[in-house]
């Protein structure tokens, strides 16, 4: 009797270990070896998604057209698994927030292709996963947040004025999933807490009401997010934040939770020096870990601490570029037409505008002055330099196209074509040094 008990204990332990064997590092390796998304997410159009989905369909993944956008573009739902626990994910309801769409495509591909692996079998038999990648194809094709009607779909959960919002609600109501994943991108200059670290990924376990009523699903989601944090933190220590926790009565995450589908919000930011594909991989590992923990039940043994301990996101602390202590000549013209030069000394802060990766992104001067409480992703020591605007005066709101002159030079700042008449020592253009790289020292 005892032997029999011991034997079954060993078997249970073994199968639990096997199911739990899919570590974050193994998920990373699988993504590296097998991912099919070969276009950087911000360059992906609806037609590219259709090609990805054709590949999924060809491999046997269930892909169905479930609706149409305002301009009649197909919206698809992808499905995997036959288990009782219903998991629903949707991405890119904001058209210019694309990272998770690629991660979802890769995830379904990998699940389908690895059906012989224990961890995938467990997912397949425990979960039914449905995902809508790119809920807003019109916005995605224009690389804008809103839909073709100019509506923010994520503020349309109650009014349901957009076909995309109506579809999303209908898909939820018809199926009543047990858990939702709402997948977005956030500003690249969001900091993880009061630090100079970008929040490359942010999480929020979304409440269903302003009173922050918790329930079983909400508590489970805190554990799941903790599992996801532990999975990706080693790849980007200190770069995970908690999204601001304010109930938005008209948003989908909040209403999914209210309607009975406790929802997790994942916001992908950016990590300076890493390509977008790195963040696809992080999404893949995070969501893959959540599915695995749900399927094998290991989430029940995870403490919610990693989620509870996340630093809140902070905005306004980071800028793309800061040039410290530059001297800015300003040409003044009096009423009688006399020119005089004034000099001001300060830090110049410029941010890169968001564009698809395939387009050069302009930088715009956003602050000039004492920026000692702000960090730049790239910082330069401009104390030995004059800085002037290349095409426009150097001031807030103008392009961050900047000419740098060593301060021992004699320059006629009022010269008609300054760049031609007095070739600068360094030129910063479209976020790069196009002349004199290294002349202005990096801090
Ligand atoms: Zn968004």
User: In this predicted model, what pLDDT tens digit does every residue of 66-81 receive, in sequence order?
Assistant: 999 999 999 999 999 9
Q: Are strands 318-333 and 375-381 parallel, antiparallel or unpaired?
A: parallel
Kindly provide the residue ranges of all beta strands, DSSP E only, lying in 164-285, ordered along the sequence: 179-185, 191-192, 201-205, 240-242, 263-268
Q: Is residue 208 located within the same domain as residue 307?
A: yes
2 located within any domain: no
The pTM is what?
Answer: 0.93
- Amino acid 124: pLDDT: 98
Q: Are residues 63 and 197 both part of a single domain?
A: yes
pLDDT of residue 15: 45
* Spans of the chain below 70 pLDDT: 1-21
Quote helix, strand, coil % in the chain, to nearest 5: 35, 25, 40
Query: Contact, 230 vs 188, CB < 8 A?
Result: no
Structure tokens at 41: 């997410």
User: Which residue, 314, 330, 357, sits at the end of a domain?
Assistant: 314
200/300 same-domain check: yes
pLDDT of residue 13: 47
Verify that 173 and 304 share a domain, yes or no: yes
Ligand 1 center to residue 97 CA distance, Å? 6
Co-location of 239 and 207 in the same domain? yes
State residue 8's pLDDT score. Answer: 52
How far is ligand 1, taken at its centre, from the CA of residue 243, in Å? 11
Q: How far is the CA of 184 from the centre of ligand 1 (A)?
A: 4
Q: Is the same domain home to 282 and 346?
A: no
State which of 314, 346, 378 marks the end of a domain.
Answer: 314
How close is the Cα of 354 to the center of ligand 1, in Å? 14
Q: Which residues contact 288 (CB under 8 A, 6 or more apart)?
A: 22, 27, 107, 110
For residue 187, the CA-to-ligand 1 centroid distance in Å is: 10
Whether 272 is in a domain gets the answer yes
Measure 17 CA to ligand 1 centroid, in angstroms.
37
Q: What is the pLDDT of residue 4?
A: 54
Residues 225, 326: one domain?
A: no
Distances (CA, A) of 287 to 18, 290, 325, 442: 19, 5, 44, 37
What spacing in Å lies between the alpha carbon of 145 and ligand 1's midpoint?
Answer: 7
Output the domain CATH number for residue 355. Answer: 2.30.40.10
| Same domain flag for 267 and 389 | no
As for how many domains the chain has, the answer is 2
CA of 185 to the centre of ligand 1 (A): 6
Q: What is the pLDDT of residue 3?
A: 53
Query: What is the Å distance from ligand 1's center to 270 Cα?
Result: 14
For ligand 1, the distance from its centroid to the CA atom of residue 250, given in whole angstroms, is 13
pLDDT score for 21 = 57
CA angle 80, 82, 86 (to 5 degrees): 80
In eight-state DSSP terms, residue 245 is: -
What range does the domain containing 371 cover? Answer: 319-435
Give 399 Cα–ligand 1 centroid separation in angstroms.
26
User: Do 325 and 418 fall into the same domain?
Assistant: yes
The whole-angstrom separation of Cα 129 and Cα 244 is: 27
Centre of ligand 1 from the C-alpha of residue 117, in Å: 34
Task: Identify whether 3 is part of a domain.
Answer: no
Assigned domain for 7 exists:
no
Radius of gyration of the chain (CA): 26
Q: Which H or E run includes 365?
A: strand 363-369
Tokens of 201: 């990924």
Residues 288 and 385 grouped into a single domain: no
Q: Which of 191, 192, 221 is nearest to 204 (CA)?
A: 221
Instruction: Compute, in angstroms, the gap from residue 16 CA to the centroid of ligand 1.
Output: 37
């Amino acid at each position: 009797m005892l032997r029999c008990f011991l034997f079954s204990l060993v078997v249970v332990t073994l199968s639990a270990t096997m199911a739990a064997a899919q570590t974050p590092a193994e998920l990373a390796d699988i993504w590296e070896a097998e991912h099919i998304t070969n276009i950087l997410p911000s360059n992906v159009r609806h037609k590219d998604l259709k090609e990805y989905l054709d590949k999924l369909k060809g491999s046997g993944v269930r892909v169905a057209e479930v609706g149409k956008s305002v301009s009649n573009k197909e919206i698809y739902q992808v499905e995997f698994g036959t288990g009782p626990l219903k998991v629903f994910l949707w991405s890119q309801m904001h058209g210019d927030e694309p990272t998770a769409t690629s991660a979802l495509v890769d995830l379904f591909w990998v699940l389908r292709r690895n059906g012989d692996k224990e961890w995938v079998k467990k997912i397949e038999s425990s979960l039914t996963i449905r995902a809508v990648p790119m809920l807003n194809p019109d916005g995605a094709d224009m690389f804008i947040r809103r839909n073709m009607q100019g509506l923010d779909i994520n503020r349309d959960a109650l009014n349901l004025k957009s076909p995309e919002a109506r579809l999303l609600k209908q898909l939820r109501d018809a199926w009543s999933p047990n858990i939702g994943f709402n997948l977005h991108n956030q500003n690249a200059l969001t900091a993880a807490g009061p630090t100079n670290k970008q929040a490359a990924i942010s999480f929020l376990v979304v409440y269903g009401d302003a009173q922050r009523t918790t329930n079983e699903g909400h508590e489970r989601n805190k554990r799941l997010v903790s599992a996801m944090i532990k999975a990706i933190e080693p790849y980007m220590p200190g770069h995970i934040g908690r999204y601001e926790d304010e109930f938005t009565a008209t948003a989908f995450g909040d209403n999914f939770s209210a309607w009975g589908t406790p929802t997790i919000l994942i916001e992908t930011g950016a990590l300076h020096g890493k390509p977008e594909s790195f963040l696809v991989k992080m999404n893949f590992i995070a969501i893959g870990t959540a599915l695995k923990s749900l399927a094998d039940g290991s989430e029940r043994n995870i403490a919610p601490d990693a989620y509870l301990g996340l630093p809140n996101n902070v905005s306004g602390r980071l800028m793309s570029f800061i040039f410290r202590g530059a001297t800015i000549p300003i040409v003044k013209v009096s009423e009688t037409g006399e020119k005089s030069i004034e000099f001001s000394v300060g830090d110049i802060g410029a941010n890169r505008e968001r564009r698809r990766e395939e387009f050069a992104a302009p930088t715009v001067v956003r602050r000039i002055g004492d920026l000692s409480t702000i960090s730049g992703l790239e910082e330069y020591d401009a104390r030995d330099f004059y800085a002037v605007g290349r095409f426009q005066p150097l001031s807030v709101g103008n392009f961050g196209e900047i000419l740098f002159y060593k301060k021992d030079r004699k320059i006629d700042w009022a010269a008609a074509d300054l760049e031609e008449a007095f070739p600068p020592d360094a030129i910063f253009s479209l976020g790069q040094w196009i002349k004199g790289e290294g002349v202005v020292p990096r801090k």
